[in-house]
Amino acid sequence: MIAVIGLVVGVVAGLLLQPTVPVELQPYLPIAVVAALDALFGGLRAMLDGIFDDRVFLTSFLSNVVVAALIVFLGDQLGVGSQLSTAVVVVLGIRIFSNAASIRRHLFRA
């Protein structure tokens, strides 16, 4: 519940504050958001699995974001930034799908 409230609070804060993303961060924010979504789904699945652990959740959340941004940054330096960010999005998308499938199996038994 607190997580849902936190999500709502974050959305509202983003709508109200309307911050502008610094130019240096613009390529990394979308990837970081996708990575955070992946961590969120992973955490939800772990909670349904009953093995949720806040420390692991925090670590995976932060490391996912950092690693994803790092990969994109590295790709930018190597000149393959767009391709590498596509790869990251694909991988994270696959993981989100598999986690969502597991969650669905827990909730709907199908």
CB under 8 A: which stretch of 16-24, 69-77, 78-86 binds other proteins? Answer: 16-24
Q: Which two tokens stand for residue 47?
A: 């909670």
Binding residues for other proteins, how many (CB under 8 A)?
Answer: 61
Q: How far apart are the C-alpha atoms of 82 and 85, rounded to whole Å?
A: 5
With binding defined as CB under 8 A, does residue 4 bind other proteins?
yes
Phi/psi for 51 (5° steps) reads -115, 25
Per-residue string for binding with other proteins, 64-103, x by CB under 8 A? x------------------------------x--xx-xxx
Contact 73, 15 (CB under 8 A): no
Q: How far apart are the C-alpha atoms of 109 and 97, rounded to whole Å?
A: 16
Binding site for other proteins (CB under 8 A): 1-11, 13-15, 18-21, 26, 29-30, 32-33, 36-58, 60-61, 63-64, 95, 98-99, 101-103, 105-109
